[in-house]
Structure 1
């Protein structure tokens, strides 16, 4: 039996949501919202959605950079507000509990990830869910952050995505194209990242659909 009541499922970018959208057809009370990257976009999207209709629960989901060296690519990690019934559901779906840090920028290099691990003690890093979870806490809405590791603690990203962002945290595809024209050697790494993130999104979708079954 599916979970009763409205579930809002937040993602930052369409690539994170795509496999879940294919699988969620049987869950008519699950609404997917793609916020855009970063704190401001996620805050704006959250308020707009909750003002329209208060949900029974919120899942804030997507990719994460691994900080714990023990976390392999594709591992699904979660954190919940204290006492949330979502905790047991996520454990049952195969996700593992952990500490997830919400950052202002993409962690690009192994060195950056190591510094974040030392500074925060977190197992993974993302850019939106911490904000949404705090907002849910203020409104007493059950919430879980559910993230899949798209790049492990020992992996550098093939490109510095921070340098390619617009001021409102959207990827500037003209900058990306220019960057690849200047450094075509980065293309294979970027294609590999696309394959890895697609596989990670499938792993995330499998966990989320199991949670929604209740």
Structure 2
């Protein structure tokens, strides 16, 4: 079984990368990694924030052939009080910012995610910018459970690989909190986090902002650890169940 997992940036992926000793491939401008988890051959691509990198082309070159499962993973901001930092959410559908564009996730994959401990939710909203203020998040909560910036693109491209797809995210910030810095100002054109801009934003923080940043850092650390533990269990379960199905089909 071949499983493609996408993250926006390495900070989301790092704990899982260390757990399974992912090997980096030569993907040029796109960071690509591979490993074996149980019966699954796993490829991870870092798409950049907002999927700004040519990750689809890199996948075709470095990982030719069919992809069975595609998982859009990483962080998301909560849009509803029920979803707290560290929670793992699995969406039944993803709504793009363009009105009327809705992508359905594979229902059996959502159900399996629920069995592995994720919270099933109605929808993620894929936005074209980071939602910084709590007031904005509350308004968006009318139409979705969480907001992120990649899943609509990932799920729409997954069909090109003939893959079943699902969006699974770890909550990094609650609906009631402003982000401590404006992440829209620290992102490069390629979707990477510019560390010098990050330092500039941090240096400009006052005491209350500094405390908020420390809290946010702790939340994201817990979120990515929870996500890594979940994905390890989930990918193994997906591979096991698919193997059973394939054997039953072959026996007919």
TM-score (norm 1): 0.87
Question: Structure 2 vs 1, CA of residues 141 and 180 (structure 1 numbering), >3 Å: closer, same or farther?
Answer: same
Deviation track 1:119-149 (CA, whole Å, cap 9, x = no partner) reads xx10000001121011113553111111011
For the residue of structure 2 that corresponds to 1:150, the secondary structure is: strand
Q: After the TM superposition, which parts of structure 1 deviate over 4 Å for at least 4 consecutive aligned residues?
A: none
Question: Structure 2 vs 1, CA of residues 84 and 209 (structure 1 numbering), >3 Å: closer, same or farther?
Answer: same
Q: Which residue in the other structure is 1:102 paired with?
A: 126
Larger Cα-atom Rg: 2
Q: Which residue in the other structure is 2:236 paired with?
A: 213
Q: Report the structure, 1 or 2, having the larger helix content.
A: 1
2: distance between equivalents of 1:165 and 1:212?
30
Question: Structure 2 vs 1, CA of residues 178 and 212 (structure 1 numbering), >3 Å: closer, same or farther?
Answer: closer
Q: Which residue in the other structure is 1:160 paired with?
A: 182
Q: Which residue in the other structure is 2:29 paired with?
A: none
Of stretches 14-23 and 170-179 in structure 1, the one that deviates more from structure 2 is 170-179
Matched, 1:59 2:71: yes
Q: Which residue in the other structure is 2:211 paired with?
A: 188
Deviation track 1:3-47 (CA, whole Å, cap 9, x = no partner) reads xx1111111111111121233356161122222111322xx2133
**Which residue, out of 137, 140, 145, partners 1:116?**
140
Q: Which residue in the other structure is 1:21 paired with?
A: 17
Contact 2:13 2:74 in 1 (8 A): yes
2: distance between equivalents of 1:139 and 1:181?
44
Higher relative CO (Cα under 8 Å, sequence separation at least 6) belongs to: 1
For the residue of structure 1 that corresponds to 2:58, the secondary structure is: helix
Question: Structure 2 vs 1, CA of residues 128 and 83 (structure 1 numbering), >3 Å: closer, same or farther?
Answer: closer
**Which residue, out of 37, 40, 46, partners 2:49?**
37
TM-score (norm 2): 0.75
Displacement after TM superposition at 1:83 (Å):
4.5
1: distance between equivalents of 2:17 and 2:91?
22
Q: In the comparison of the two structures, how many residue pairs are matched?
A: 206
Question: Structure 2 vs 1, CA of residues 136 and 151 (structure 1 numbering), >3 Å: closer, same or farther?
Answer: same
Contact 1:105 1:127 in 2 (8 A): yes
Deviation track 1:55-89 (CA, whole Å, cap 9, x = no partner) reads 11111100000001111111111125454431222
**Which residue, out of 4, 8, 19, partners 1:12?**
8
Q: Which residue in the other structure is 2:224 paired with?
A: 201
1: distance between equivalents of 2:179 and 2:76?
12
Of stretches 63-72 and 73-82 in structure 1, the one that deviates more from structure 2 is 73-82
Q: Report the structure, 1 or 2, having the larger strand content.
A: 2
Question: Which segments of 5 or more consecutive residues in structure 1 lack a partner in the other structure?
Answer: none
